[in-house]
Amino acid sequence: MSENCIFCKIARGELPSRKVYEDDEIVAFHDIRPAAPVHFLIVPKRHVASLQDVTAADIPLLGRMLALAPQLALEQGCRPGPEGGFRVMINNGVDGGQEVPHLHLHVLGGPRPWQRG
């Protein structure tokens, strides 16, 4: 973990968050500036700066993060099936809109319309 990274501090329990999931490798919590009725982040506890920094060794972790997205989306209120759904987004680097330099998945959903972003 990184000493000054805000997501590492959340993962260590040093900063408050509205957690929706936690295990030994992953933490998920509500976004502080939601862009949709359902908006949470899935974050690896181990500090990885961005998607550009993952290696082949990270494939199992990334798979677990993606596999958690539909389960947690339903638990947080997204509707299942073709009429429902959710969006998964990874911002990568400054030009890609990444605001916190720690890899994370945004999961957004809920009844539309909601802000585009």
Query: Which listed residue (30, 47, 102, 104) is catalytic?
Result: 104
Which spans in the chain are helix H?
Answer: 6-11, 59-75
What does the alpha-carbon distance between residue 47 and residue 16 come to, in Å, rounded to a whole number? 18
Torsion sign over Cα 25, 89, 114, 99:
positive
Pairing of strands 86-89, 38-44: unpaired
- The residue with tokens 């429902």 is 84
Name the amino acid, one letter, at 69: A
> What is the 8-class DSSP label of residue 15?
S
Whether 47 is catalytic:
no
Q: Which residues form the catalytic set?
A: 104
